[in-house]
């Protein structure tokens, strides 16, 4: 099984790129949303840590946002609770799809949480910062302070680009982007029988 990890800035189009591969995707953001809605253990831990902020019967983005805005260090406290659950789900995903030719990991903290190894193919999605910020501002729960906190919690984009096997330039033009993804996908599949495996 080939494992592809998608790297890049927040809002650079990582999830769109992941979908274009046409193979099973582990989307960490979706998993986290599901954990917030359905994981009772996570809810209890976060409520115990931040009793003054959690008033509802399930974790809501605006409440979590308030926790992070209150103190940047709170992001790390939430991460300590949530990330082990995400890691466990990722391992279950890989086990479930072990017979697939390829799987794609769309995990913002793939590098920071050391969830990859030398056998992974890492793809960096490079986008114009102004375009990214325009797109982020259109999101329903956009908050500059939270975005900045999330960015500061991650390794530099220069480092992620450096360790990547491939770079996809996303100019947000659909046809050229899809063409570039197809080329890279073909290259990865052609390398399947190389010394990496």
Domain assignment present for residue 99? The answer is yes
The pLDDT averaged over each successive group of 10 residues in the chain (197 residues) is: 94 92 95 92 93 86 87 89 95 96 94 90 91 80 76 88 94 84 92 61
In the numeric block, which tokens belong to residue 179? Answer: 């063409």
**Domain that residue 142 falls in:** 2-190
Report the pLDDT value the prediction gives residue 80, as an integer from 0 to 100: 93
Domain assignment present for residue 122? The answer is yes
Indicate the number of domains in the chain.
Answer: 1
Domain assignment present for residue 159? The answer is yes
- Return the CATH number at 12: 3.40.50.300
Mean pLDDT of the chain: 89
Report the pLDDT value the prediction gives residue 194, as an integer from 0 to 100: 61
Residue among 170, 163, 149 at smallest CA distance from 77: 149
Domain assignment present for residue 163? The answer is yes
Domain assignment present for residue 68? The answer is yes
Domain assignment present for residue 197? The answer is no
Domain assignment present for residue 175? The answer is yes
Residues in contact with 74: Cβ distance below 8 Å, sequence separation at least 6, in sequence order: 50, 67, 68
Q: How confident is the model over 13-33, as pLDDT tens digits?
A: 999 999 999 999 999 999 999
Q: How confident is the model over 133-147, as pLDDT tens digits?
A: 887 887 767 777 778
Domain assignment present for residue 140? The answer is yes
User: In Å, what is the CA distance from 118 to each residue of 94, 133, 164?
Assistant: 16, 32, 11
């Amino acid at each position: 099984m080939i494992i592809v990890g998608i790297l890049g800035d927040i809002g650079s189009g990582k999830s769109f790129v992941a979908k274009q591969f046409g193979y099973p995707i582990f989307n960490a953001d979706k998993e986290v949303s599901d954990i917030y809605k359905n994981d009772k253990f996570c809810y209890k831990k976060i409520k115990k840590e931040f009793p003054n902020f959690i008033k509802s019967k399930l974790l809501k983005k605006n409440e979590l946002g308030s926790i992070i805005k209150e103190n940047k260090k709170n992001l790390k406290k939430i991460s300590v609770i949530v990330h082990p659950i995400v890691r466990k789900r990722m391992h279950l995903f890989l086990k479930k799809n072990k017979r697939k030719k390829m799987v794609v990991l769309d995990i913002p903290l793939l590098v920071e949480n050391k969830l990859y190894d030398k056998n992974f193919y890492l793809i960096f999605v490079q986008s114009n910062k102004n375009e990214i910020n325009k797109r982020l501002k259109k999101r329903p729960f956009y908050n500059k302070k939270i975005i900045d906190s999330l960015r500061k919690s991650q390794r530099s984009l220069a480092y992620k680009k450096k360790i990547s096997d491939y770079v996809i330039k996303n100019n947000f033009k659909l046809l050229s982007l899809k063409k570039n993804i197809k080329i890279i996908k073909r290259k990865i599949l052609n390398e399947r029988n190389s010394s990496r495996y």
